[in-house]
A and B are shown apart, each in its own frame.
Chain A
Amino acid sequence: MNAYLILFFLVWIGGWWINIRLSHVEQSRFTKVLIPALFGLVVLFMWELIVIGLEVNPVLLPAPTAIIVKFSNSLSILWIDFVQTLIKGALSGYVLGCGAAFLTAVAIDKFDFLKRGLLPLGNFVSALPIVGMAPIFVMWFGFDWESKCAIVVVMVFFPMLVNCVQGLELVDHSRQDLMKTYNASYTETLLKLRLPSAMPFIFNGLKICSTLALIGAIVAEFFGSPIKGMGFRISSEVGRFALDMVWAEIFVAALAGCLFYGLIAFIERRITFWHPSHQK
């Protein structure tokens, strides 16, 4: 039981105790950020101590300090990978897939026969395993970001479709009747009542699809890619035993995912201010 492991337990217990004390104090904006930040720091500290204390091989698990060093040394590579995978691959697929799903949902809402035909088909397509489709798409669309975009479209289409269709369906009937008494046309009702009312569902779909898009773009790169991109970097650096680079890429992906999700949540808060869940 060496000094590092003793420190490990001290940091663990100390951090835990501080957080419990903080949570009993009156909650201000400051403490709301401090508690999770403290928790995160304690976890990082514990990781560092256990890697040093148990002399864990860096090929299996690098220490956080090594990862941070690698991260700051590889900013240009990480940026290139970020643009290739998340901007060119994930974002384009996200926009195309969610856009197509939204338009399809509006069409389904208008024409009932489409709903009976397209929803089961969408269900089937969403169940196709991505690891089976990825190599096929690479053959069809080539190695570059286009095939990754296609995979993301297939992954995000059905969840977004289902959410939008539900949102359009579940509009309060008494309000729809009210619009009828105003002699509102289909389009006016759609734009002024049903779409705004469906926004919580639509944003729900957008939030779910943001994580799917990230995952899809990264995994799709395992099956063939040019020599840039986060999926490529992760798999080839694992092959070179540079696990610190792998963790740096994971960190970039996690950061990008959090920011993307946060952005969507922020826009949602602005647009659906009227919903009870956002009221204090």
Chain B
Amino acid sequence: MNKLLSVFTAIIVMCGFSVFADGHANKVTIQLKWVTQAQFAGYYVAQDKGFYDDEGLAVTIKPGGPDIAPAQVLAGGGADVMVDWMPSALAAREKGLPLVNIAQPFKSSGMMLTCRKDMGVNTTADLKGKTLGVWFYGNEYPFLSWMSRLGLKTDGSSDGVTVLKQGWGVEPLTEGQAACVSTMSYNEYWVVRDAGYTPEQLTVFKYQKEGAATLEDGLYVHEKNMSDPVFKDKMVRFVRASMKGWKYAEDNPKEAAMIILENDDAGVQTEKHQVRMMGEVAKLTAGSNGSLDPADYERTVKVLMSGASDPVITKKPSGAWTHEITNAALK
């Protein structure tokens, strides 16, 4: 009886080991920057259309949200790869969390400052003395750099600007508490439009046009994993399938929006908003095959180091990005 039990246990354990060993090499957990929405269409489309299955990967997509800092999830081991913006990732790197960019699906920046003309804002010169809504939690860096370049202090002094920590909505603008709010071209800008503001009533500053743009949604991993060949291999397959998902989403925005809605466990997204979002996001991913353009990286670093009194990063990062994964994925 004892012998039978021990043989039985050994078989179970061996099976368990093989499952475990196999699982590690093919399981990927990705932590998104925000809730399930078309901003992350590439990953949901890749999962839904079977691109990850084709690469032999079992992918878990973890949506983000208000209380979730993707970098900390990564630091705590809760995900293999995350979607984050470069300013936040470089700041984390300088603070002791070595993140590495392995892919950059978003070529252009969708960040905007949307202002009401009836509160007196028509050009950047009118920003002086106004109250501006700004996101924090890692998203304030492009704004701070831009204000520094415009020579506007953010301490609420009369020849500077007053900054409000903006929440997840655009109420400061619609309620008149702020002259401007931060918006993404694919999300909050349309919320303002839905609230009844026409383009003629709004002054819009696009960070890309103001020279304050930084690289947005990119894929980041922890540097310690980049010395593990098994990890690198699964990242290569993951990036290949994800970029396939992105290009499919760009070509089929309506279908991508429907896939997002199916995956929306929280049930907060609407078809109209997601189709519109997918259309706008496609404008930002266009022109990227996933490989990071070093010129874009240098520009982002320059913007972040240029904040005179309070630069986001104090020294040029090294080893913050790699082409190793995308070179292998896009061969």
Contacts and interface: CB of A to CB of B under 8 A. Distances in A.
Interface residues of B, number: 28
Interface string A126-154: 00000000010011001100000000000
A226 B75 contact: no
Given A226-B164, A240-B138, A57 B96 contact: yes
B164 A60 contact: no
A93 to B, nearest CB: 20
B163 interface: yes
A59 B167 contact: no
A241 B167 contact: no
A143 B162 CA distance: 12
Interface in A196-238: 223-227, 232, 235-236, 238
Interface stretch (B20-28, B171-179, B194-202, B263-271): B171-179
A24 to B, nearest CB: 43
Contacts of B164: 143, 224-227
A239 interface: yes
Interface string B207-238: 00000000000000000000000000000000
Interface string B66-106: 00010110011000000000001001100111000000000
A58 interface: yes
Contacts of A43: none
B92 A236 contact: no
A242 interface: yes
A93 B156 CA distance: 25
A83 to B, nearest CB: 15
Contact of B75 (A57, A142, A240): A57
B140 A236 contact: yes
Contacts of B92: 59, 241
Given A58-B96, A227-B165, A235-B137, A240 B91 contact: yes
Given A235-B137, A236-B136, A59 B165 contact: no
A135 B97 contact: no
A135 B156 CA distance: 23
B98 to A, nearest CB: 9
Contacts, number: 71
Given A59-B95, A241-B97, A236 B137 contact: yes
Contacts of A232: 136, 165
B122 interface: no
A224 B166 CA distance: 6
A70 to B, nearest CB: 12
B138 A59 contact: no
Interface in A39-61: 57-60
Size class of A's contact patch? Answer: 20 to 34
Contact of A60 (B72, B139, B156): B72
A139 B173 CA distance: 11
Given A60-B72, A224-B165, A239 B95 contact: no
A73 B305 CA distance: 22
A232 B140 CA distance: 13
B167 A223 contact: yes
B185 interface: no
A142 B177 contact: yes
A235 B136 contact: yes
B154 interface: yes
B97 A57 contact: yes
Given A224-B164, A227-B165, A236-B136, A59 B96 contact: yes
B163 A241 contact: no
Contacts of B96: 57-59, 241
Interface of A: 57-60, 135, 138-139, 142-143, 223-227, 232, 235-236, 238-242
Given A226-B162, A226-B164, A241-B72, 17 more contacts: A58-B95, A58-B96, A60-B75, A135-B167, A143-B164, A143-B172, A224-B172, A226-B163, A232-B136, A235-B136, A235-B137, A239-B88, A239-B136, A239-B138, A239-B139, A239-B140, A241-B97
30 contacts: A57-B75, A57-B97, A59-B71, A59-B92, A60-B76, A139-B171, A142-B177, A143-B164, A143-B165, A143-B177, A224-B166, A224-B167, A224-B172, A225-B165, A226-B163, A227-B154, A227-B163, A227-B164, A232-B136, A235-B136, A236-B137, A236-B140, A239-B138, A239-B139, A239-B140, A240-B95, A240-B138, A241-B92, A241-B95, A241-B97
